[in-house]
């Protein structure tokens, strides 16, 4: 599905039909319109895989009177239409935010995820909560369908996929978030309150990359930060998988982040780290820096105990070998 050109006559025909559609009002010679055209093409491709929404373009240099009749005063302008009713899209004029915005308007139920839908929806600006049901188990599907329409509608896309797609035994829930280094999973009881509690923990990223795009949000939170320093991406992924449950346990009390020790080599010395000590785990709480003792392996048990001892003393006996205060 590509981007089709729309003239006034074709517009009149389209608004007579049901369903949501998108129009980009542009002047093709205008440089920002050239950039937006490429984003609209990509958005149309992804919407074609996930919905019945079409994207059109109107050349306002050719149809100036028509654009003026719709009060289009700047270019590019993107609007979503449902028949003649429209709303202006005011988000970033890029494919992913636009697709996210449009799908939230047209998706208010449990999506049956095929491979193409799954690939697109797990990469959008809102997390995808995907259910893999047990064989012949309608109860979990019915519950998730109900939650998708109500309690989960604001913060998630909700879908159902097969065990073959997930590669893991059913039933379980997986949350995919492009801003999250972790991929949280839930395999507890399929009960409404339990699932909503899980959702409250994972609606925001559990573990994020520590970089210039995230440092402000970390600082604004006022929470301590547990940081995994490593020079190797695969190693960081392994650490994330290992510590996801710990990050969930301390949700709302401690932020967690991965740190590329090559890109952020300037931060090693202030954290009391040396290249030959990596991978390393460090907690920064206000102006205090704590690092996991040398020679200790980063495991869920070690990090859980380390955080308790450094940030929540009194919950266990101190071990001077675990904590080094910088």
CB atoms within 10 A of CB 155: 15
Q: Report pLDDT digits (tens) over 298-317.
A: 999 999 999 999 999 865 44
Q: What's the token pair of residue 101?
A: 């915005």
Residue 31 shares a structural domain with residue 136: no
Residue 122 shares a structural domain with residue 79: no
Which pLDDT does position 163 carry in this prediction? 55
Residue 142 shares a structural domain with residue 97: no
Three-state SS annotation for 132-154: ECCCCCHHHHHHHHHHHHCCCCC
Residue 311 shares a structural domain with residue 240: yes
Residue 144 shares a structural domain with residue 212: no
Domain boundary at 180, 202, 224, which?
202
d(CA 234, CA 240): 10
Residue 252 shares a structural domain with residue 162: no
CB atoms within 10 A of CB 303: 24
**Which pTM value belongs to this model?**
0.87
For the stretch 199-205, contacts whose Cβ atoms lie closer than 8 Å and that sit 24 or more positions apart, written own/partner, are 199/129, 199/151, 199/152, 199/155, 199/156, 201/248, 201/251, 202/127, 202/175, 202/177, 202/248, 203/127, 203/155, 203/156, 205/177, 205/179, 205/180, 205/181
**Domain range for 260:** 207-325
CATH of the domain at 53: 3.40.30.10
Residue 211 shares a structural domain with residue 315: yes
pLDDT of the chain along its 326 residues, tens only? 689 999 999 999 999 999 999 999 999 999 999 999 999 999 999 999 999 999 999 999 999 999 999 999 899 999 999 988 999 999 999 999 999 999 999 987 899 999 999 999 999 999 999 999 887 778 899 999 999 999 999 999 999 987 555 455 568 999 999 999 999 999 999 999 999 999 999 999 999 999 888 888 898 899 999 999 999 999 999 999 999 999 999 999 999 999 999 999 998 999 999 998 999 999 999 889 999 987 789 999 999 999 999 999 865 444 443 444 44
Domain boundary at 69, 104, 139, which?
104
Residue 14 shares a structural domain with residue 100: yes
Which H helix or E strand runs over 49? helix 31-50
Domain boundary at 202, 226, 249, which?
202
Residue 79 shares a structural domain with residue 117: no
Q: Report pLDDT digits (tens) over 250-295.
A: 999 999 999 999 999 998 999 999 998 999 999 999 889 999 987 7
- With CA atoms as reference, report the closest residue to 250 among 203, 302, 201: 201
Provide the 3-class DSSP secondary structure of residue 22: strand
Residue 23 shares a structural domain with residue 90: yes
d(CA 187, CA 287): 38
Which pLDDT does position 84 carry in this prediction? 86
In the chain, how many domains are there?
Answer: 3
């Amino acid at each position: 599905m590509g981007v089709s050109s729309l003239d006034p006559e074709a517009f009149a025909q389209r608004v007579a039909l049901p369903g949501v559609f998108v129009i980009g009002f542009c002047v093709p010679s205008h440089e920002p319109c050239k950039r937006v055209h490429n984003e609209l093409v990509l958005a149309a491709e992804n919407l074609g895989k996930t919905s019945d929404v079409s994207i059109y373009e109107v050349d306002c240099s050719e149809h100036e009177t028509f654009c003026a009749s719709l009060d289009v005063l700047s270019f590019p302008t993107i609007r979503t239409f449902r028949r003649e009713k429209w709303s202006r899209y005011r988000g970033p004029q890029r494919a992913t935010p636009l697709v996210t915005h449009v799908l939230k308007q047209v998706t208010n139920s449990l999506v049956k995820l095929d491979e193409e839908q799954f690939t697109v929806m797990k990469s959008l600006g809102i997390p995808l909560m995907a259910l893999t049901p047990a064989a012949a188990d309608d109860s979990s599907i019915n519950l998730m369908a109900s939650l998708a329409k109500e309690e989960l509608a604001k913060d998630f896309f909700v879908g159902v996929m097969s065990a073959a797609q997930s590669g893991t035994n059913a039933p379980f829930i997986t949350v995919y978030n492009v801003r999250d280094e972790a991929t949280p999973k839930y395999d507890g009881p399929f009960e409404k309150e339990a699932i909503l509690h899980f959702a409250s923990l994972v609606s925001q990223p559990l573990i994020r990359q520590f970089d210039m795009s995230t440092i402000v949000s970390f600082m604004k939170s006022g929470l301590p930060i547990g940081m995994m320093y490593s020079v190797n991406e695969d190693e960081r992924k392994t650490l994330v998988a290992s510590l996801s449950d710990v990050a969930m346990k301390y949700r709302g009390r401690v932020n967690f982040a991965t740190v590329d020790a090559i890109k952020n080599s300037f931060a090693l010395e202030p954290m009391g780290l040396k290249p030959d000590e990596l991978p390393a785990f460090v907690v920064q709480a206000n102006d205090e820096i704590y690092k996991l003792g040398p020679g200790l392996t980063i495991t869920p048990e070690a990090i859980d105990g380390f955080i308790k001892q450094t940030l929540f003393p009194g919950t266990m006996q101190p071990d001077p070998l675990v904590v080094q205060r910088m």
